[in-house]
A and B are shown apart, each in its own frame.
Chain A
Amino acid sequence: MKKLLLLLSVLVMVMGFSLAVHASPEEDRLVFRKFYEKRFPNVATEDFINGAYSIDKAGRENWEAIEEFPPYEPFMERGREMWEKPFANGKGYKECFPDGPGVAHKYPHWDKKQQMVMTLPLAINQCREANGEKALKYKKGSINDILSYMAFESRGQITNVVVPKNDSSALDAYEQGKKFYYTRRGQLNFSCAHCHLQNAGMNLRAEMLGPALGHTTHWPTYRSKWGTVGTLHRRFTGCNKQVRAKPFKAQGEEYRNLEYFLTYMSNGLPLNGPGARK
């Protein structure tokens, strides 16, 4: 009997493995979601956009108090000024983003012409450079101002990443992001999934590990540890470093593909940036 059970479970695993390897992004997303809904049956799926605070009661009270006087507000204000102010050539962000500042939900997307994943920070810098302005840095500094403003203007929009079927390079980029997420890295030998899936809800020392569903809805984010607002790729950098892996370049191919996969996993969730975190 025991042997039979073992055989059966091995069979299920093997089946699961081959299914999972050939899964479509949409199947991946449903599994990703189900994983957290099973682990945290009392959390409403939409609440995962609040990160670790969706499952950490004590942390949540603290955070709600912080959100009463949002620390990212001055950044948003400066961002609004950047948005309004024309470049030296007389043009401005408005020409690059004709649909207005509330377009964060359109990123990341597959850029067929450039054959790469286009993110909002990258689009901002391409706009600047096309108009003779200097590119902004991708982790710290004033890119976070304009991103904060655009994130705020995008609040309530729904995450909706598309992996176009008619371009296999798009699927490749997605698959590479997925592979990145499940690959062990660094001297400490962790994958992202070790902390944010396998051990979600557990404490690493005193810190609760948050679910990855909703990880992409609230960027840029004010972090008390940083004392400022920072980008998603700055966060990726930190999570790579803490396992003693050499981080990748912000807005390089690896992190953009990772963002593509990770944001796809949150499809259907509303945007709530800029965020505030510990």
Chain B
Amino acid sequence: MRKKSLQLVSVTRVISVLLACMLLVTFSVSAGPAAKDQSKAVSKDVQDGKKVAFSRKKGNCLACHMMAGGEAPGNIAPPLIVMKSRFPDIKKLRAQIWDAVVRNPESSMPPFGRHRIISEKEIDQVTAYIWSL
């Protein structure tokens, strides 16, 4: 039973990796050189944002949120998945990270921007990363 599910997991992994590659290929083929530069900058932000999100001293989002690839996450808050459909407007996502108390006065999420827990630049990076999830 365990073995089977493991196999299943690895099969789905392979498929998703393949799919991701295909997507990447079509994306880079269709994008012009200017768009390519931009997407490079974005992906740099995404990478840096991941570091900020996972670092215990900075975002430490894993203390409360489940996130893909993060170990031993907390379960205080909703898992951070399919963020583009939950936050079609990236500005609203940024605002949530900047100060969660605005939307929910009783929130236990730290106000990362208002209390300067991380810098504005790092908030941009984290936002980019979370939006990519």
Give the B-binding residues of A (Cβ under 8 A).
Answer: 187-190, 194-195, 198-199, 202-206
How distant is the Cα of A188 from the Cα of B106 in the complex, in angstroms? 13
In angstroms, Cα B75 to Cα A251, docked, is 34
Chain B hits for A206, CB < 8 A = 72, 74
Q: Are A204 and B117 in contact (CB under 8 A)?
A: no
CB-defined A-B contacts under 8 Å, sample of 5: A189-B111, A189-B115, A190-B108, A204-B63, A204-B64
A247 nearest CB across to chain B (Å) = 18
Kindly provide the distance from the CB of B80 to the nearest chain A CB, expressed in whole angstroms. 15
Whole-angstrom CA separation of A198 from B107 in the bound complex: 9
Which residues of chain A come closer than 8 Å to B75, judged between CB atoms? 202-203
Count residues of B near A (Cβ-Cβ below 8 Å): 16
* Chain B interface, >50% SS class: loop
How far apart are B105's CB and chain A's nearest CB, in angstroms? 10
Residues of A within 8 A of B101 (CB): 189
- Are the CB atoms of A189 and B110 closer together than 8 Å? yes
**Residue B67 lies at the interface, judged by CB distance under 8 Å to chain A:** no
What are the residues of chain A within 8 A of B111 when measuring CB–CB? 189
Instruction: Write out the residue numbers on chain B whose beta carbons fall within 8 Å of the beta carbon of A199.
Output: 76, 108
Taking a contact as CB atoms under 8 Å apart, the answer to whether A205 and B115 are in contact is no
* Interchain nearest-CB distance for B16 vs A (Å): 27
> Would B73 and A198 count as touching, CB distance under 8 A?
no
> Whole-angstrom distance between the alpha carbons of A28 and B95 in the complex?
36
Contact across chains for A203 and B115 when beta carbons are under 8 A apart: no
A195 to B110, CA, bound (A): 12
Interface residues in B72-97 by Cβ distance below 8 A to A read 72-76
A205 to B108, CA, bound (A): 14
From residue A40, how far is it (CB to closest CB) to chain B in Å?
Answer: 16
User: With an 8 A cutoff between CB atoms, is B126 at the interface?
Assistant: no
Q: Which residues of A contact B115 (CB under 8 A)?
A: 187-189
- Closest B residue to A190 by beta carbon equals B108
- CB closest residue in chain A, given B110: A188
How many angstroms from the CA of A15 to the CA of B101 in the assembled complex? 23
B62 CB-CB contact with A under 8 Å: yes
Q: Which residues of A contact B76 (CB under 8 A)?
A: 199, 202-204
- Other CB < 8 Å A-B pairs besides A189-B101, A205-B73, A206-B74, 19 of them? A187-B110, A187-B117, A188-B115, A188-B117, A189-B111, A190-B108, A195-B108, A198-B108, A199-B76, A199-B108, A202-B75, A202-B76, A203-B74, A203-B75, A204-B63, A205-B63, A205-B72, A205-B74, A206-B72
Q: Write out, one digit per residue, whether chain B residues 39-78 have a CB within 8 A of any chain A CB (1) or not (0).
A: 0000000000000000000000011100000001111100
Q: Which residue of B lies closest to A198 (CB)?
A: B108
A194 touches B73 (CB 8 A): no
Please indicate the chain A residues that have their CB under 8 angstroms from the CB of B108 in the complex: 190, 194-195, 198-199
Assembled-state Cα–Cα distance A189/B99 (Å): 11
Q: Nearest residue in B to A207 (C-beta to C-beta)?
A: B74
Complex Cα distance, B108 from A250, in Å, reads: 26
Q: Which of A187, A203, A205 has the most CB of B within 10 A?
A: A205
CA A230 – CA B75 in complex, angstroms? 29
Question: Whole-angstrom distance from the CB of A48 to the nearest CB of chain B?
Answer: 20
Identity of the chain B residue whose Cβ is nearest the Cβ of A191 in the assembled complex: B108
The reply to whether A205 and B117 form a contact with Cβ atoms under 8 Å apart is no
Per-residue interface assignment for chain B, residues 115 to 132, with 1 indicating a CB less than 8 Å from any chain A CB and 0 otherwise: 111000000000000000
How far apart are the CA atoms of A19 and B26 in the complex, in Å? Answer: 62
Cα-based distance from A188 to B110 in the complex (angstroms): 5
Contact among A187, A195, A198, A202 with B106 in the assembled complex (CB-CB below 8 Å)? A198
Which of chain B's residues have a CB closer than 8 A to the CB of A195?
A: 108
Q: How far is the CB of A73 from chain B (nearest CB, A)?
A: 33
Q: Is the CB of A202 within 8 A of B74?
A: yes
Give the docked Cα–Cα distance between A216 and B72 (Å): 29
